[in-house]
Amino acid sequence: MINMVMLGERKMEKEVDFGEIQRKYVMQCWSRQKDYRPIPVVKAEGCWLYTKDGRKIFDLRSAHESINLGFRHRKVLQAIKDQLEKVIYVTDDFATEPTAMLAKTLAEITPGSPDKRVWFSQSGAGAIEAAIKASRLCRYVELCKLGHKNSRVVEWAYPYPYKIISRYRSYHGATHGAMSVSGDPRRWCMEPIKMPGVVYAPDAYCYRCPFGLEYPDCDILCAQYVDYMIEWEGGPAKVAAVLVEPVVGSNGIIPPPPEYLPTLRKICDKWGLILICDEIMSGLGRTGEMFAVNHYNVVPDIIVIGKAFGVYCPLGAAIFSKRVADAFEDNLFAHGQSFSGHALACAAALATIKVIKEEGILDHVKKLGKYLGDRLKELYERHISVGDVRGIGFFWTLELVRNRETKEPFRKPSEKYEYSVVNKIADYLLEKKGVYIPSDKWIIWVVPPLIATRDEIDFVVDAIDDALKIADAEVKQ
């Protein structure tokens, strides 16, 4: 009798519809809840998701760009298991080996001098908040030091340099400060109650140049214009920092012209401003370099990372140059989170960096990234709905248009959450081809895990090739 009861209980456990339970009780991000239909997953391995109903789905967005090494990488899992038997978490009044060694490693592998300090968060957005505060307070401290020689400096800088220059095509996170500095339409949901002092610069977006110019005859006006903005926003007395994604992520996967970031660096140096580079999406090998800024030989004052950093554990970091860190030797660093420096997450991140180095991930991404780009460019030749193909490493997109001549988009920024041909293609790829891409973009998202093979690249490109007939049918002739 007891055995029969136990068998019955096990049968009931197997029949639990956790997809329906999640649909009923979980709030889905950036969604109308009535449309929420999560797909029950019973296993994830490599680049693939295995569903309860027997499907095998390639995750072409790397789980929100967070699973660069794919699902269940054995070396990272082993590092997590080993750390579970030691220390999982202590406050930063105490030290743990993975937290200390990870900070040291980041100081050494990021551009510039290794004389840096690192603040750990649980997300990229949390690290952006730290970068905003640190840049403002650093500039205030620097101006106060100048004020000892010239009292007018501090008077002119009242209350302190607080303005942050960001860009329209940017997304830095959903917390208050991070969303405020995001140009992404999602910020509209919190306006007008957003952080003061944010000014948006033109985008380095050659396909849709905000000035209507052609590269390289444009003289990188999108960067040069930032100099003009700083002047008219009050100069170094009012402006603290310039914040950019080295390669734009959510708003189009847009690598800038080669001169763009070096020009911004020179402008920041001219005015004494802090250059913050958001590598939350582009860092940790996504572009074929450990950090995207390495492609441009630029040394930021602050680098922010997240997403794939901790792989299977939520983790972010703001990496402060000596210049920024020194401002807090005798002044309060006014930021913090309860789980900062979480030992378990830091152990996972250390293992991730080790895997990237030891398994030749960067070389793999460079080599296969070129192949991926070449294959996607072939789709431009075959499909009239493809207006632009751009990317770097394993970070690519197809921008779809109704008309190549006018570049009329299928979805405008104000229509981000309206049903469009991008939704149709995403649905087709998921249901007919076993490929998952996000449906809330303006573009076709091609962001595979960094471990993807040539055969897997061919599989997803062939699937997209077939799906693009949906957009071709809606092109204006």
Exposure class string for 371-407: b at 16+ Cβ within 10 A, else e: ebbebbeebbeebbbbbbbbbbbbbbbbbbbbeeeee
Q: How many whole angstroms separate alpha carbon 430 and alpha carbon 327? A: 50
Q: How many whole angstroms separate alpha carbon 301 and alpha carbon 299? A: 7
- Using 70 as the pLDDT threshold, list the residues of the chain that sit under it: 1-14, 147-158, 477
Half-sphere exposure of 61 (CA within 13 A, CB side): 17
Burial class of residue 352, CB neighbours in 10 A (0-12, 13-18, 19+):
buried
SS3 assignment, position 239: strand
In order of their start, the domains of the chain are: 55-72+363-477 (3.90.1150.10), 86-358 (3.40.640.10)
**Chain position carrying tokens 């807090």:** 328
CA nearest to 65, candidates 124, 111, 132: 124
Full DSSP string of 413-436: GGGTTS--HHHHHHHHIIIII-EE
Give, in order, the Cα–Cα distances in Å from 47 to each of 50, 354, 395, 450, 451: 10, 20, 15, 9, 8
pLDDT value at position 1? Answer: 46
Q: What is the DSSP letter of 294?
A: G
Give, in order, the Cα–Cα distances in Å from 148 to each of 5, 144, 285: 80, 7, 44
SS3 assignment, position 42: strand
This prediction has a pTM of 0.94
Q: How many whole angstroms separate alpha carbon 416 and alpha carbon 227? A: 31
